[in-house]
Chains A and B, each alone.
Chain A
Amino acid sequence: MSTTVIPPVALPAPVSTSTAPAIRPVTTTRVRRFLGYTVRSYLGAIRNVPFVAFLIALPTGLYLFYASMYGNQTTNSGVNVSALMMVTMAAYGGLGAALSAGNAIQQERGSGWFRQLALTAMAPLDVMVAKVLVAVAMMVPALGAVFIAGAAKGVTLTPAEWASCFGLLLAALAPMVILGLALGLWFKPQAASAGSTLLTLMLSMLGGLWFPLDMMPDAMQTVGKLLPSYWAGQLGLWPILGGGFPWQGVGVIAAWTVALIALGVVGYRRAVRSSRR
């Protein structure tokens, strides 16, 4: 055989040579698609009972344990210790939820499912923003469970205090989703899961969420005050303790957020390069 290439077949003549393909009416809007995806993703995540139970069980259990032992004490300024513990244990729970949920985003992305989502009308950035919102919202059951346990243990706060404690914790811990995500981008899935658990424990312990920082040696106090977990706790306690607003904490958390975003971006580029596709 001398020739192996067959010339292309004659293509059927086009029906029309001038009309562009009609653009069909779009029946959904960008906002509806975004909200629909966000809400359905959240419901899907919250229905994962083992995952939610895992996020709730330890902080709530630890809180009930410590509150039973020290809860009826009061501080020098007359604040009930069970209320303070409620806030710091909720911060620990929220931290764990944010890290795990952030890590789960990368596991879903790494599984290849996001490639299928890239074939929809939703831009990849919108999908990512929705996923981060869902991860932030995964803190709600973790914070809520400890707060409910606190109420059961006799913590009495005004509605404004409950709401501001909850809101400040949620806002202060939200950047930790990016830490979980970055962890997933830098490490293989199993290492990333283990890493997010380890980081949760270390940040909680060193950040004074389990034992007050002022019970620790000076060197550890210095380290603790550089951690976002410490400041999340302080911001959450502010409505109860009063005093000057911890602006320093906002600065520390903002600095961490910038650093984590940079870490995430570098990790993302690295992950894209090494996966070839």
Chain B
Amino acid sequence: MNESTLAIAASGLTKSYGSLTAVDALDLSVPAGQILALLGPNGAGKSTTTEMILGLTRPDAGELRVLGAPPVEAVRRGEVGAMLQNGTLLADVTVQRLLTLVQGMHAHPLPLAEVIERANVAPILRSTTTKLSGGEAQRVRFALAILPDPRLILLDEPTVGMDVDARRHFWSVMGDLAAEGRTILFATHYLDEADEFADRIVVINKGRVIADGTGTDIKATVGGRLIAFNGPHRDYSTLPGVVAAAAHGDRFELNCFDSDLTLRALIGLPDVRGIEVTSPSLEDAFLKLVA
């Protein structure tokens, strides 16, 4: 594929901090217009990867092109917008002044009215940045991300601190942005969020890609839900929707990619009691992936 048609083209990307290799020979190709989730536990290298794509961190080795240009050049041309994780906002100014200040620094910014509407910051324009709630601050960061009218949007754990409604609104706006042909890459450690909103999930751990596919592909590997119950000994791994089964005495644990399907089958079985459905933590899922 021609490099210039890719939003992100990375090969052999490596970054170490002292003895810690944060990103280890990472390869990643993201075609324009894709919504991609970068999924991984804390310390997997998500933030470092994001920072290299943004030109904030220089890779030790490897090739990296963003929309066909070196990262810093793409950023200067206003092609890239980002919500940084816990990104600090300028202190002691109103949201309105903050947005006006940054708008004047971009190459071809979106009109402020459009940014205000899309990021839903109209009610907090007169608030001082230091007095915003976590969710409100995230909306301001989101406004900053779309301000340059970017073709690539990077979001580092974007919905942290948002309530359910805010999350839903956020992803619906993201869907609109993607529909306009913008490429969206978001880092998360929630499998559900990645599965629900991304076209493609790239799972990284210890700085390397360990799985790459659709949400269904990934869930089939790591399992979506965990069903635990007491019951007679038999082979439960043949039940529909099950990835793997494990026994702990009388208690069984099924790792499922479709827990609804599994539950229906399970409830029909005799002497099955004490059913419990939980979502495994991503850390647990990773133990499976890297085992």
Report yes or no: A116 in contact with B101, Cβ–Cβ below 8 A: no
What are the residues of chain B within 8 A of A15 when measuring CB–CB?
A: 5
Whether B89 lies near A113 (C-beta < 8 A) is: yes
Q: Which residue of B lies closest to A39 (CB)?
A: B104
- Say whether B43 faces chain A, with CB atoms less than 8 Å apart: no
Main secondary structure of the interface of A (DSSP, over half): loop
Q: How many A residues face the partner with a CB closer than 8 A? A: 46
The answer to whether the Cβ of B273 comes within 8 Å of any Cβ in the partner chain is no
Does chain A have a CB within 8 A of B200? yes
Residue of A11, A36, A120 with highest tally of chain B CB at under 10 A: A120
Contact B288 A1 (CB under 8 A): yes
Task: Evaluate whether A40 and B97 lie within 8 angstroms (CB atoms) in the complex, with A14-B1, A115-B84 already known.
Answer: yes
- Asked if A269 is at the interface (CB within 8 A of a chain B CB), the reply is no
- Which of A26, A37, A276 touches B107 (beta carbons < 8 Å)? A26
Please state if B218 and A6 are interface contacts (CB–CB under 8 Å): yes
Q: B93, A36: Cβ atoms under 8 Å?
A: no
B244 interface contact, C-beta 8 A: yes
Within A15-56, the residues touching B (CB, 8 Å) are 15-21, 23-28, 32-33, 36-37, 40-41, 44, 48
* Complex contacts, B2 vs chain A, CB 8 Å: 14, 17-18
Chain A residues with Cβ below 8 Å from B149 are 24
Our pick among A9, A16, A123 for the contact of B200 (Cβ within 8 Å) is A9
A14 to chain B minimum Cβ distance, whole angstroms, is 4
- Indicate which residue in B17, B92, B107, B289 contacts A4 across the interface (CB closer than 8 Å): B289
Beta-carbon contact of B4 and A20 below 8 Å: yes
A58, B148: Cα distance in complex, Å = 43
A-B contact count (CB 8 A): 145
Query: Most chain-A Cβ atoms within 10 A of its Cβ — which of B4, B97, B105, B212?
Result: B105
| Chain B 241-277 interface 0/1 with A at a Cβ cutoff of 8 Å (1 = within) | 0011000000000000000000000000000000000
**Does A117 reach chain B (CB closer than 8 Å)?**
yes
Contacting pair B5 A17 (CB below 8 A) = yes
Chain A residues lying within 8 Å of B291, measured Cβ to Cβ, are 4
Q: Is A7 an interface residue (CB 8 A)?
A: yes
- Counting chain A CB atoms within 10 Å of each CB, which of B54, B80, B107 scores highest? B107
Query: Which B residues are CB-close (under 8 A) to A37?
Result: 101, 104-105
Contact of B75 among A11, A19, A27, A119 (CB under 8 A): A119
A217 within 8 A of B: no
B76's partner among A6, A19, A121 (CB-CB below 8 A) is: A121
Query: Measured between alpha carbons, how far is A4 from B243 in the docked complex, in Å?
Result: 12
Q: Is B51 an interface residue (CB 8 A)?
A: yes
Question: B21: CB under 8 A from chain A?
Answer: no
Chain A residues whose C-beta falls within 8 Å of the C-beta of B105 in the assembled complex: 33, 36-37, 117, 120-122
A112 to B4, CA, bound (A): 32
User: C-beta contact mask, A85-109 vs B, less than 8 Å → 1, else 0?
Assistant: 0000000000000000000000010
Residues of chain B lying within 8 A (CB to CB) of residue A6 = 211-213, 217-218, 221
Q: Say yes or no: B213 contacts A8, CB within 8 Å.
A: yes
B164 to chain A, nearest CB (A): 27
CB–CB B214/A9 < 8 A: yes
Q: How near does chain B come to A121, taking the closest CB pair, in angstroms?
A: 4
Chain A residues contacting B151 (CB-CB under 8 Å) are: 21
B77 touches A23 (CB 8 A): yes
B135 at the interface (CB under 8 A from A): no
A117 with B102: in contact, given A1-B288, A21-B151 (CB under 8 Å)?
yes
- Which residues of chain B are within 8 angstroms of A111 by Cβ–Cβ distance? 88, 91
Contact of A25 among B34, B106, B108 (CB under 8 A): B108
- Which of A8, A44, A119, A120 has the most chain B CB within a 10 Å cutoff? A119
Q: Contact string, B41-83, partner A, CB cutoff 8 A, digits 1/0?
A: 0000000000100111100000000011000000111111110
B90 at the binding interface (Cβ < 8 Å): yes
**A20: which of B68, B81, B217 is its contact (CB, 8 Å)?**
B68
Central interface residue in A27, A33, A40, by most chain B CB within 10 Å: A40
Q: Check B88–A277 contact: CB distance below 8 A.
A: no
B179 at interface, CB cutoff 8 A: no
Distance of A244 from chain B, by nearest CB (Å) = 46
Bound complex: CA A36 to CA B107 (Å): 13
**Does A242 interact with chain B (Cβ within 8 Å)?**
no
B-side contacts of A112, CB under 8 Å: 84, 86-88
Q: How far is the CA of A44 from the CA of B244 in the complex (A)?
A: 59
CB contacts (< 8 Å) of B97 on chain A: these are 40, 44
Q: Does A266 contact B (CB under 8 A)?
A: no
A-B interface, 9 closest residue pairs, ranked by CB to CB distance from nearest: A112-B88, A36-B104, A120-B105, A14-B5, A121-B107, A6-B213, A20-B4, A8-B212, A17-B2
Known A11-B29, A111-B88, A116-B87; further 7 A-B contacts with Cβ < 8 A? A4-B288, A5-B212, A18-B2, A112-B84, A112-B88, A121-B105, A121-B107
Q: List 5 A-B contacts (CB under 8 A).
A: A1-B288, A4-B211, A24-B149, A111-B88, A115-B56
Binding site for A on B (CB under 8 A): 1-2, 4-5, 17, 29, 31-32, 34, 51, 54-57, 67-68, 75-82, 84, 86-93, 97, 100-102, 104-109, 144, 148-149, 151, 200, 210-214, 217-218, 221, 243-244, 288-291
